[in-house]
A and B are shown apart, each in its own frame.
Chain A
Amino acid sequence: MSAQEYYIPNGTYWPIVGSVGVSTLFVGFANQMHGASWGGSVMAIGFAILVFMMFGWFGQVVNESVNGNYNNQVDRSFRWGMSWFIFSEVMFFAAFFGALFYARQLSVPWLGGADNNLFTPELWNGFSATWQQVAMNTPAAISQAGMEYSVPVKLVDTWGLPALNTLLLLLSGVTLTFAHHALREGKRNQIVGWLVATIVLGVLFLGFQIAEYGHAYHDGLKLTSGIYGSTFYMLTGFHGFHVTVGAIMLTVILYRVQKGHFSADSHFGFEGVAWYWHFVDVVWLGLFVFVYWV
């Protein structure tokens, strides 16, 4: 390898804008939760600053990329960065999956007197440690946030909408791969077609997920339904949030494809988003198996 010049960007003020944005968002959020009337507005301002920062920062990177400032080494740095970012996301979900496994396999059975917990039946006569009814059968059990725990009438259904959603997301992974192949062969019309299909499948998924939330809520499953409701809504909610972000990123990629930003052998932006989409896909498989199925 011959001696070469590395690419080093100039100074940037986007990070400090991002810090101001995210801090404003969080301070607004905390005050909103504490009942301050202005909390929501401050949150909105913080969010707007963050969006402004992302447009500016990513826009600058896109411009530099289109202008050919980046060499293969920068491309590889982006790849390493994106891979390990996704891994950190995996670990974030792992915390919630861990909570789900721990509650289902250990703490809920222990509450019901498993492992020779002799006094449980004495102290909590009539309490049955079933997964959907772990909110105590005692009257008016109050959560730490001061809300009454509610007990759902049944577990969410596995083979209706969740199974359909599994199919949709898996399919979207296939269409996205077709788009990638088309990109590598330089067939722009096909790329656009497959990308649009992927986005439509993602949006459909989100629509069905909202409908599914409606059914669950109707059956009495709420965020306040004890550990079942907590793990159900937090896991699927964070996943839905990630699908939303992924769909927005795919839309940006669609726009960039139409602007001709990508070539057959240089399209990291596309690939990074595709990795992210597949990651969201895999998380869903975990959710389908452990939240909806077993």
Chain B
Amino acid sequence: MTTATATSHDDHHHGPEKGIMRWVKTTNHKDIGTLYLWFAFAMLLVGGAMAMGIRMELLQPGMQVMDPHFFNQLTTMHGLIMVFGAIMPAMVGLGNWLIPMMVGAPDMALPRMNNWSFWILPFAGGILMSTFFMDGGAPAFGWTFYAPLSTTFAPDSTDFFIFAVHLLGFSSIMGAINIIATVINMRAPEMKLMDMPLFVWTWLITSFLLIGAMPVLAGAVTMMLTDRNFGTAFFDATGGGDPVMFQHIFWFFGHPEVYIMILPAFGIISHIIPTFSRKPLFGYSSMVYATASIAFLSYIVWAHHMFLTGMPVAGELYFMYATMMIAVPTGVKVFNWVSTMWKGSMTFETPMLWALSFVILFTIGGFSGLMLGIAPADIQYHDTYFVVAHFHYVLVTGALWAIIAATLYWLPKWTGKMYNESLAKVHFWWAVISVNVLFFPQHFLGLAGMPRRIPDYSLQFADFNLISSLGGFAFGASFILLAYIVVDCIRNGKPVDARPWDGAKGLEWTLSAKADYHTFNTPPSRELIENESQHS
């Protein structure tokens, strides 16, 4: 153990390099976290611009501004970019920034690989976006790229999309391996597993989901590639394959994927609510077990996305009941958050507002998910705007809400400065009202039978679509204000103390106001870990 320090000793204590090469060559978890977060924000704006196009087209019945094929490209690329370019990288970015500090480690376990996890992303994103400029346009078969739409009937650019997915998968797998190695091996020696903050726990469990699910996605797109180019018959009934098999393989990845996006969000909320309630997290260990249960269940419920494919009835029943079971651990979490607030000395700084609205709005999304999980009822909801409303409530007012909450909550630690609280409150109310104007009417549209992924619609859907589109434009514009708030904090924010939030606990708050470039070169003591733990 002692030989390691000899040659590396000099490198530990100086700051970052100068210039652009700092960012290209960096092995520092904070730099890489920052890269991830800015990349995710850029992709959020790109994907958001596509959403604006979609809502523009759907403003009124009849064709408005684009041809239907381009509309399909927009819905497809909006979904892919938001899932793989915005939400997932943002969560990995937060993990990079926070996990080493939260477990008292100096950096990620495999820092060079960490660099590669990030620096594959711009290349993958570039290849994906380049499909817009190819003959036949970008992929237009929906983000779920069902065969045969994505095989027999897809443009040539689909092969570029396939390779982009491969690259995104490499990135996610490397990121997940790194987080597992960090949490298990770099954790402060005095920190037991059940001392770990919930964000660390949720990310550890998410990493197992990534390692189990992303290779299956790689397998699915590889089969697509050979079906498209080399004459295999995986998804072609003429050759004895089955297009429904594509859906099975895709959703075996796809269902864990939705928990990949939401579990770290659960972790974030489990930090913010105790802080602003000035109480320890209620039911710490049940939170851990609930997270693990959700992760396990997420692997065995995939076909609830496929109730209308003509599965055997036994299959429908199994997948319905298994899906219902997820409500139990999720309910445990929601009740724990509410119990944490019970009789707490609550204050409502902006991160808390985001966290509170997360609990309410995510729960709405969870309940609509339960409705969709009921096999006979799903016959009515399937592929309607009800589904669109459901997954936007869990991904926008769930995952994205937690990302924004986390950004505001830990921004003082990243920058040593405080954002403008009153502007942030304006932004919160702007976003939370407009997002409901945007997505809530879509429930009604779906129940009334409006199908998703269609650029035109019947006249009776006109009013709710108009309301939804107006809400959409307002919500989209709110992100300009968010960008301003963050940049303004970095440039002009007022300096803060090391622990800017009254009730905040966690090792990261024991560092200097702006966390140093290298932190925890020596592991924290048992006493410190106990003082900062989330236990009651």
A interface residues (Cβ-Cβ under 8 A, vs B): 1, 3-16, 18-20, 22-23, 26-27, 29-30, 33-34, 57, 67-74, 76-78, 80-81, 84-85, 87-92, 94-96, 98-99, 102-103, 106-108, 110-111, 115, 129, 134-136, 141-147, 149, 222-224, 226-231, 233-234
Contacts of A11 in B (CB 8 A): 17, 21-22, 25-27
CB distance A95 to B249 under 8 Å? yes
Contacts of B241 in A (CB 8 A): 103, 107, 226-227, 230
CB distance A1 to B189 under 8 Å? yes
Contacts of B148 in A (CB 8 A): 144
Contacts of B151 in A (CB 8 A): 144
A242 to B4, CA, bound (A): 33
Contacts of A4 in B (CB 8 A): 1-2, 5, 522-523
Q: List B1-17 residues whose CB lies under 8 Å from chain A.
A: 1-9, 11-12, 17
Q: Interface readout for B27-40 with A: 1 if CB under 8 Å, 0 if not?
A: 10000000000000
Contacts of B21 in A (CB 8 A): 11, 13
- A69-B4, A87-B211 given as contacts; is B110 within 8 A of A5 (CB)? no
A30 to B165, CA, bound (A): 13
- Between-chain CB contacts (< 8 Å), 15 pairs: A5-B8, A6-B106, A11-B21, A26-B163, A27-B160, A30-B159, A30-B160, A34-B159, A71-B1, A80-B180, A80-B181, A149-B231, A226-B240, A234-B223, A234-B226
Tell me if B260 counts as interface (CB < 8 A to partner A).
no
CB distance B239 to A33 under 8 Å? no
Contacts of B237 in A (CB 8 A): 107, 111
**In this complex, what residue of B is CB-closest to A102?**
B245
CB distance B233 to A74 under 8 Å? no
A110 to B186, CA, bound (A): 51
Contacts of A233 in B (CB 8 A): 232
Nearest CB on A from B103, distance (A): 12
CB distance B226 to A15 under 8 Å? no
CB distance B184 to A103 under 8 Å? no
B82-90, B213-221, B338-346, B450-458: which lies at the A interface?
A: B213-221
**8 nearest A-B residue pairs (beta carbon):** A95-B219, A134-B240, A11-B25, A71-B4, A15-B116, A107-B242, A230-B232, A224-B231
A135 to B240, CA, bound (A): 6
Contacts of B223 in A (CB 8 A): 95-96, 99, 230, 234
Most chain B CB inside 10 Å of its own CB: which residue of A3, A107, A135: A107
State which of A22, A69, A85, A143 has its C-beta within 8 Å of the C-beta of B233: A143
CB distance B252 to A115 under 8 Å? no
Tell me if B518 counts as interface (CB < 8 A to partner A).
yes
A149 to B235, CA, bound (A): 14
**In this complex, what residue of A is CB-closest to B236?**
A144
Tell me if B185 counts as interface (CB < 8 A to partner A).
yes
CB distance A145 to B231 under 8 Å? yes
CB distance B245 to A74 under 8 Å? no
- Chain A, interface SS category: helix
CB distance B106 to A8 under 8 Å? yes
Nearest CB on A from B24, distance (A): 5
CB distance A107 to B230 under 8 Å? no
Q: List B86-125 residues whose CB lies under 8 Å from chain A.
A: 105-107, 109-113, 115-116, 119-120, 122-123
CB distance B1 to A6 under 8 Å? no
CB distance A149 to B119 under 8 Å? no
CB distance A230 to B244 under 8 Å? no
CB distance A3 to B522 under 8 Å? yes
Nearest CB on B from A65, distance (A): 11
CB distance B521 to A6 under 8 Å? yes
Tell me if B234 counts as interface (CB < 8 A to partner A).
yes
CB distance A143 to B231 under 8 Å? yes
Contacts of A29 in B (CB 8 A): 163
Contacts of B236 in A (CB 8 A): 143-144
A71 to B109, CA, bound (A): 12
Tell me if B536 counts as interface (CB < 8 A to partner A).
no
Contacts of B238 in A (CB 8 A): 135-136, 141-143, 149
Nearest CB on A from B245, distance (A): 5
**In this complex, what residue of B is CB-closest to A68?**
B3
Besides A107-B240, A224-B232, 19 other A-B contacts (C-beta < 8 A): A8-B106, A9-B8, A9-B27, A11-B26, A15-B116, A27-B127, A71-B1, A72-B1, A80-B109, A85-B177, A92-B219, A95-B220, A95-B223, A99-B245, A111-B240, A135-B240, A144-B151, A145-B228, A234-B232
Nearest CB on A from B241, distance (A): 5
Contacts of B122 in A (CB 8 A): 19
Tell me if B173 counts as interface (CB < 8 A to partner A).
yes
Nearest CB on A from B248, distance (A): 6
Contacts of B228 in A (CB 8 A): 144-145
Contacts of B119 in A (CB 8 A): 15-16, 19
A19 to B112, CA, bound (A): 13
Tell me if B387 counts as interface (CB < 8 A to partner A).
no
